[in-house]
Amino acid sequence: MSKKVTNKKSTRPTDKKPSRPAARGPRLYERFHWAQRVAHALLLVSFTTLGLTGLPQKYAVAGWAQFMVKLFGGIENTRFIHHLAAVVLMLLTIYHILEIGYKIFVRHSRMSMLPGLQDVKDGVQAFIYNLGLGKKRPQMGRYTFEEKMEYWSLVWGTVIMGVTGFMMWNPLATARLLPGEIIPASKAAHGGEALLAVLAIIVWHMYGVHLRRFNKSMWTGKLSKEEMLHEHPLELADIKAGMAERRVDPKLLRKRQTFYYPVAGLLAVAMLLGLYGFVKGEKTAITTVPPISSPVAVYVPQTPTPSPTARPTPTVGATVLTWDGSLGSLFQTKCGACHGASVRLAELSFTTYADAMKGGQDGKVFLPGDPAGSLIIQKQQAGGHPGQLTAEEIELVSQWIATGAPEK
């Protein structure tokens, strides 16, 4: 009798688990590399610092501005922090110039940030779409027309702030080349451009990047496929087609690098030397005159003189030692170019007797009865002043101050 043999599968449990497909997250596309993100962070810090320290100086009489100045430790600390942030911004500008040069001359990258006619068309189409009159949003590439406007506004603002900042930082060098009226004009342009830049960031950039659709690419360096389809569909199409970056032959790339690196190094040294001259090239009265360590004693009589006797007008030879007699015209002739009605360097003017006795941002320049302690005598005796008086004129001014610096 034959046995019927059947094959049965084993029902014992095994240690093997069924394989599962690996979990895959959303596809991310690189938009900015780490160096660009670091530069953006430094730009954010420097720009914010410039706004917080610059606008209180523009609106110095406002209560909030005085509070900000006190918060920064006084006007001198506020100016120092403002200058330091400006230096950081200029260093970033130098780095950005060298980076753009590398992309253009070495890698031959597309200059996709340059504006063109298509950006005008995209702007008009976006405007019509936002009004509800258009059916679709414009399809944009690597950079949208809004991003190009922001970038070139930043470039324009940096140039304006750099030029006008140099004029205010180096007024003597500026006055040797240009009329003195350019200095208060540069102050007005500097403050106006600063206000415009801060408002543009708050209104335009904050809404477009953080409120309308929070864009994290400048922090993470990447965008998702959904974000790319919404903001940069044409760039996404180029990436999928392998056309986003121009391929460069490694040998040709090394050849271009060999030429570019020495040129970029010399250019960097020249720009850094220019920056050093920008910051350290000139000394003004703020740094050359030692600060007053003790308050100046003011003579205040305990009891007023009921009937003051008239003092005879002092004279030296044929020269009457009064402001109206001779001293006023002397100061207006020698000092009026920098301290006149239209140009007031260091907030000092010799236009009228009252203006002169009020002094400037470094304090009073005339201390009646104290020629040696008067700032104008100290400056003139040091020599080298743009409105330098002769030795005889300095002696004349000293005698006038010694007799009480009378007006009439």
What is the DSSP annotation of 152-205? HHHHHHHHHHHHHHHHHH-HHHHHHHS-TTHHHHHHHHHHHHHHHHHHHIIIII
CB contact at 8 A, 377 and 390: no
Strands (E) in 296-406, as ranges, are 315-316, 319-320
Kindly give the confidence (pLDDT) of every residue in the chain, 408 residues in length, as a single tens digit, with 9 standing for 90 and above.
444 444 444 444 444 445 555 446 578 888 889 999 999 999 999 999 999 999 999 998 899 999 999 999 998 999 999 999 999 999 999 999 999 999 999 988 888 899 999 999 999 999 999 898 988 889 998 899 999 999 999 999 999 999 999 998 888 888 888 998 899 999 999 999 999 999 999 988 888 888 888 888 888 989 988 888 888 888 888 888 877 777 888 888 899 999 999 999 999 999 999 999 888 877 655 555 555 555 555 555 566 555 555 555 555 555 667 887 778 788 888 887 788 777 777 788 888 888 888 888 888 888 888 888 888 888 888 877 777 888 888 888 888 888 888 888
Instruction: Return the exposure string of 184-200: e unless at least 16 CB atoms fall within 10 Å of the residue's CB, then b.
Output: ebbbebbbebbeebbeb
CB distance 125 to 134 below 8 Å: yes
Burial of 321 (0-12, 13-18, 19+ CB in 10 A): buried
Long-range contacts, 363-370 (Cβ 8 Å, 24+) = 363/292, 364/296, 366/401, 366/405, 367/296, 367/401, 368/401, 368/404, 368/405, 369/299, 369/401, 369/402, 369/404, 370/401
For residues 91, 96, 99 and 101, what is the CA-based torsion angle, rounded to 10 degrees? -110
Residue 363 to residue 227: CA distance in whole angstroms: 59
Taking the C-alpha atoms of residue 25 and residue 22, their distance in angstroms, rounded to an integer, is 10
Residue 254, exposed/middle/buried by CB under 10 A (0-12, 13-18, 19+)? exposed
d(CA 219, CA 197): 22
Q: Are 336 and 327 in contact (CB under 8 A)?
A: no
pTM to 2 decimal places? 0.62
Identify the burial level of 129 via C-beta atoms within 10 angstroms of its C-beta, where 0-12 means exposed, 13-18 middle and 19 or more buried: middle
Strands 222-224, 28-30: pairing is antiparallel
Q: Where are the domains of the chain?
A: 28-282, 315-402
Distance CA(279)–CA(274), nearest Å, equals 9
Q: Are 62 and 236 in contact (CB under 8 A)?
A: no
**Tokens read off for 122:** 């995209």
Enumerate the H helices of 221-327 as residue ranges. Answer: 225-231, 233-240, 250-280, 285-288
DSSP helix/strand/coil, 221: coil
Burial class (CB in 10 A: 0-12, 13-18, 19+), 377: buried
Q: What is the pLDDT of residue 269?
A: 96
- Compute the radius of gyration of the chain from its Cα atoms: 34
- Pick from 205, 203, 211, 89: nearest CA to 144: 205
Give the architecture-level CATH label for domain 28-282: Up-down Bundle (1.20)
